[in-house]
Amino acid sequence: MPGYTLKISGGSDNSGFPMDRSVSGAIKTSVLRLISRSGKNKGIYKRMTIRGNLISSDTAQVNLSITSYGDRSVEDIFGPIKEKKPKEEGK
């Protein structure tokens, strides 16, 4: 996409584990995560498996956001966007 500037905002690996910017490298590791700061689950931690912040051959999906646009529109590059059909009622 010439002229575009993209920001990587996340992703997941081929096993479905999310990428996390707090872990450097392309490793898969388990970390303790705080579930909630307030409410019923206040102060409870949970062990979660995550992937590091480096894109590697194990990365299956990358989330991107456009920070600056180029000369051509996104629809010209990727084609028309398919619209979702409304669900039929009564089935």
3-state secondary structure 8-65: EEEEEECCCCEECCCCCCCCEEEEEEECECCCCCECCEEEEEEECCCCCCCEEEEEEE
Domain membership of residue 76 (yes or no) is: no
Domain membership of residue 79 (yes or no) is: no
Q: For residue 65, what pLDDT is reported?
A: 93
Q: For residue 91, what pLDDT is reported?
A: 60
Global confidence as pTM: 0.69
Domain membership of residue 53 (yes or no) is: yes
Q: Please list the rounded mean pLDDT of every run of 10 residues in the chain (91 residues).
A: 90 94 92 90 92 93 93 86 75 60
The rounded radius of gyration (Å) of the Cα atoms in the chain is 19
Please give the tally of structural domains in the chain: 1
Domain membership of residue 87 (yes or no) is: no
Per the structure, the complete domain to which residue 25 belongs is given by 5-69
